[in-house]
């Protein structure tokens, strides 16, 4: 019996909400509490109700960071992905923002990621984590322009 294989390509936006006059939306801001401890800003499941083998991922990820009141606070952040309920894989090394200041600073990461260990099937998950070197000082949010494009095969 022959196996039929379909290829799916899907773009998932990471943030939604009420429409705005500028078209810019953000996730709910998340604050750090304990110094030098990772906090999850946003986790998004890429799940279309199908189980498939991942061919390619394309990311366009933008987040904003700031200190709540300290001009000297330093932040570290990174994006990660994994097969659903699997082991998190860093999509890039930690980025350090020195003396971030109290006004939001926008930062983006984008590019391709081909299937690899722990990122090779759908459904999968993507998240942003960050930390601050001062207690109760870090704040982060994800911008609505953030997306994950996935291409995968499903056997039928």
Q: How confident is the model over 82-96, as pLDDT tens digits?
A: 999 999 999 999 999
Output the six-digit token pair for 105.
């600073």
For residue 2, pLDDT beyond 80? no
Domains of the chain: 12-155 (2.60.120)
What is the predicted pLDDT for the residue at 1?
58
Give, as one character, the DSSP assignment of residue 104.
Answer: -
If DSSP codes are grouped into helix, strand and coil, which group holds residue 17? coil
pLDDT at 110 (0 to 100): 97
Mean pLDDT along residues 96-107: 96
Nearest to 83 by CA among 128, 39, 116: 116
More confident residue, 156 or 34: 34
Convert the pLDDT of each residue in 10-67 to its tens digit.
Answer: 999 999 888 889 989 999 999 999 999 999 999 999 999 999 999 999 999 999 999 9
The H helix count followed by the E strand count for the chain is 0, 12
Residue among 148, 121, 154, 147 at smallest CA distance from 54: 121
Residue 156 binned pLDDT confidence (cut-offs 50, 70, 90): confident
pLDDT for residue 30: 98
Mean pLDDT of the chain: 95
Residue 3 banded pLDDT, cuts 50, 70, 90 = confident
């Amino acid at each position: 019996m022959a196996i039929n294989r379909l290829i799916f390509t899907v773009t998932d936006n990471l943030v939604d909400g009420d429409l705005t006059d500028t078209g810019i939306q953000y996730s709910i801001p998340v604050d750090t509490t304990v110094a030098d401890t990772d906090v999850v800003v946003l986790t998004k499941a890429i799940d279309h109700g199908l189980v498939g083998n991942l061919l390619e991922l394309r990311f366009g990820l933008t987040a904003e960071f700031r200190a709540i009141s300290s001009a000297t606070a330093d932040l570290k952040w990174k994006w990660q992905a994994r097969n659903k309920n699997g082991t998190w894989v860093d999509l890039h090394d930690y980025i350090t923002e020195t003396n971030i200041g109290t006004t939001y600073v926008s930062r983006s990461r984008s590019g391709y990621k081909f299937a690899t260990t722990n990122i090779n099937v759908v459904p999968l998950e993507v998240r942003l984590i960050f930390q601050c070197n001062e207690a109760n000082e870090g704040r982060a949010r994800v911008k609505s322009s953030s997306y994950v494009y996935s291409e995968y095969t499903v056997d039928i």
